[in-house]
Amino acid sequence: MKVSNKGFTLIEMLAALAVSAIIITGLYGMLTSVLNTREAAQKKNSENALLMNFRKLIKADMAQLYKDTLTIDGSGENSKISFTTSNSIKLEKTVPVDVTYYVDDGWLIRRETSGELQYEWELRLLPDTEDLLALSHNGYRFTEEYDKSDTIIQISFRHAGHTFRMTSGCAMTSEGVSQ
């Protein structure tokens, strides 16, 4: 009876192990890259959704803004924009409320109050926000010199290192009736 010495040598085993390690390292690198790309895309989509929702909210507020109620306080590091609007987010209906947009502790905040209904409510809209600036349009250009008769404003702010700018205007009279 003849004994067979078929099998792998130590060198063949080491070569197979080295090739396997290289393949596994490459696959791990690809998987890590795909997961990082997916995470970055989800974060960007989330930020874009927040920004789009803010844009819809401020435009709805401004479209129902009562004329002659808009005030812009640019005295601090960030502007404060206040006005009366018929767009109540808290009550989810058309009712006159006082709204203020401002930045506090890195958050863009919308504060809604109603003296008549006796409530105050704050909604934190965007984290990592700074440099809120409101400019009003005087008929010729946007300026920091606000006049009560101005009904178009441009709001800009920095969010996560990028500057965003939007323009909106008033469509209501001081009594809250569409013009």
Query: What predicted TM-score, i.e. pTM, was given to this entire model?
Result: 0.69
For the chain, 179 residues long, give each residue's pLDDT as a single digit of tens: 666 677 788 898 899 999 999 999 999 999 999 999 999 888 888 777 877 887 888 888 887 888 778 888 888 788 888 888 888 888 888 889 999 999 999 899 999 998 888 889 999 988 888 888 888 887 788 888 777 667 788 888 888 788 888 887 765 444 544 44
Report the distance separating Cα 62 and Cα 70, nearest Å: 9
Residues 6 or more apart in contact with residue 117 via CB below 8 angstroms: 91, 95
Q: With respect to residue 100, please indicate whether it lies within any of the assigned structural domains.
A: yes
Q: With respect to residue 164, please indicate whether it lies within any of the assigned structural domains.
A: yes
Return the exposure string of 127-161: e unless at least 16 CB atoms fall within 10 Å of the residue's CB, then b: eebeebbbbbbeeeebeeebeeebbbbbbbbebee
Q: With respect to residue 111, please indicate whether it lies within any of the assigned structural domains.
A: yes
Q: With respect to residue 99, please indicate whether it lies within any of the assigned structural domains.
A: yes
Residues 6 or more apart in contact with residue 40 via CB below 8 angstroms: none
Q: With respect to residue 74, please indicate whether it lies within any of the assigned structural domains.
A: yes
Report the distance separating Cα 81 and Cα 88, nearest Å: 16
Q: With respect to residue 18, please indicate whether it lies within any of the assigned structural domains.
A: no
* Domain extent for 82: 51-169
Q: With respect to residue 178, please indicate whether it lies within any of the assigned structural domains.
A: no
Q: With respect to residue 30, please indicate whether it lies within any of the assigned structural domains.
A: no
What are the tokens at 94? 């058309």
The number of residues in the chain equals: 179
Number of folded domains in the chain?
1
